[in-house]
C-alpha cells in the first residue's frame, strides 16, 4: 500500500503552521514515502495561534506519527513537548522545535533539523566545509538559533550574528564561546567564508521575481567570489541575495536545498532512514 492509496494501516505525518498553503513539505515527503514503499501519508494542517496544544493532543488521538513544525509555532512546540515529553539538546538550547515524533509507546519526542539541514546543504552543494570556517548568520529567529547551534556543533571557527534587533542576537550568541554579535557587516562579511540568510527578506509566496524578491538582507557589494552563500528563502529559488552572489562568482545554495536536507533528517527521525534529497528536489521543482 502506498501513500497515494491510504487505508486503515496508513501512518500519518503532517506540517503544522500558519500559513501552510505554500508549503512544499507534503510534496517532498510523500515523494520519499512512495520511493521507500512505506505506508505513510503526509498532509498540511493550518493551525492557528492558541491551538498548538490541541494539535499535539491530536497526534495521540489520530495516531499521527510525525509532525513538521513551521512558523510561527516552533517555540511553542518546543515549550509544550518539554513539559509533556522528551526534547533533545538542540531544542533545549534553542527553544525551537521543527520535528515531533509520536513513539509507539505514546510518548512524544521533539528535535530540530533546520540547522543540520543547512550545514548538510552547504557541504553537499559546495566545496566549502563547515569545520574551521567563519560564518555570518543574518537574522536571530528560530531558524537562526538552530543554524548557529549546528554550525558550532560542526566545528565552525567563529559564528557572527547580524540582526536588526541586537538583543535577540545576543540571546543566541550567549550560549556559545565562539559566537558573537556584530553590527559592522563590512568587516564581518570580508572575513567570512560562509554567509547564511535566515531572514524572510526576499521572500515572495508566489515564487515570482518581483520588487520584493530582489531585495537583499545585506549590501550585496560586500559579496565576492570567495564566499559561499545560503539563503533559507525558497520562494523564489533565486533571491536577490543569491542572484547577486552568483554574478560575482560565489558558490550559492538555495532554500529548497536546505528544505530537502532538513526533511531528510526528519525522515530519519520518523522512519530510521534518510530520504533521497535529489528525489525531493525534483518533486518540488515539478510542482513549481
Positions annotated as catalytic residues are 74
Rounded CA-CA distance 251/243 in Å is: 11
Residues 282, 79 contacting (CB under 8 angstroms):
no
Rounded CA-CA distance 57/102 in Å is: 10
Residues whose CB is less than 8 angstroms from the CB of residue 91 and which lie 6 or more positions away in sequence, other chains included: 78, 81, 82, 97, 110, 111, 112
Residues 104, 137 contacting (CB under 8 angstroms):
no
6 preceded by cis ω (within 30°)?
no
Rounded CA-CA distance 5/159 in Å is: 46
CA neighbor of 198 nearest in space, from 71, 75, 25? 71
Identify the H or E element spanning 151.
helix 142-153
Q: Which residue has the cell 545576543?
A: 170
Residues 75, 59 contacting (CB under 8 angstroms):
no
Rounded CA-CA distance 221/191 in Å is: 14
CA neighbor of 139 nearest in space, from 165, 163, 108, 175? 163
CA neighbor of 229 nearest in space, from 138, 159, 94? 138
Amino acid at each position: 500500500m502506498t501513500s497515494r492509496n491510504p487505508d486503515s494501516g496508513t501512518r500519518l505525518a503532517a506540517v503544522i503552521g500558519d500559513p501552510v498553503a505554500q508549503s512544499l513539505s507534503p510534496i517532498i515527503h510523500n515523494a520519499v514515502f512512495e520511493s521507500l514503499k512505506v505506508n505513510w501519508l503526509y498532509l498540511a494542517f493550518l493551525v492557528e495561534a492558541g491551538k498548538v496544544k490541541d494539535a499535539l493532543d491530536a497526534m495521540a488521538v489520530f495516531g499521527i506519527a510525525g509532525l513538521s513544525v513551521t512558523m510561527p509555532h516552533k517555540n511553542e512546540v518546543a515549550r509544550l513537548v518539554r513539559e509533556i515529553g522528551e526534547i533533545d539538546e538542540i531544542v533545549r538550547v534553542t527553544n525551537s522545535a521543527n520535528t515531533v515524533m509520536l513513539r509507539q509507546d505514546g510518548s512524544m519526542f521533539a528535535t530540530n533539523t533546520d540547522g543540520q539541514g543547512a550545514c548538510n546543504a552547504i557541504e553537499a552543494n559546495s566545496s566549502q566545509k563547515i569545520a574551521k570556517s567563519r560564518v555570518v548568520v543574518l537574522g536571530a529567529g528560530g531558524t537562526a538559533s538552530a543554524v548557529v547551534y549546528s554550525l558550532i556543533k560542526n566545528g565552525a571557527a567563529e559564528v557572527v550574528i547580524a540582526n536588526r534587533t541586537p538583543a535577540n542576537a545576543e540571546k543566541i550568541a550567549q550560549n556559545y564561546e565562539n559566537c558573537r554579535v556584530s553590527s559592522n557587516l563590512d568587516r564581518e562579511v570580508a572575513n567570512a567564508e560562509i554567509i547564511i540568510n535566515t531572514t524572510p527578506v526576499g521572500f515572495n509566496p508566489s515564487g515570482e521575481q518581483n520588487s520584493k524578491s530582489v531585495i537583499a538582507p545585506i549590501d550585496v557589494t560586500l559579496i565576492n567570489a570567495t564566499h559561499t552563500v545560503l539563503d533559507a528563502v525558497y520562494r523564489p529559488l533565486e533571491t536577490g541575495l543569491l542572484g547577486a552572489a552568483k554574478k560575482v562568482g560565489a558558490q550559492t545554495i538555495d532554500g529548497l536545498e536546505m528544505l530537502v536536507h532538513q526533511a531528510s533528517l526528519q525522515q530519519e527521525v520518523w522512519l530510521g532512514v534518510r530520504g533521497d534529497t535529489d528525489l525531493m528536489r525534483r518533486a518540488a521543482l515539478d510542482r513549481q
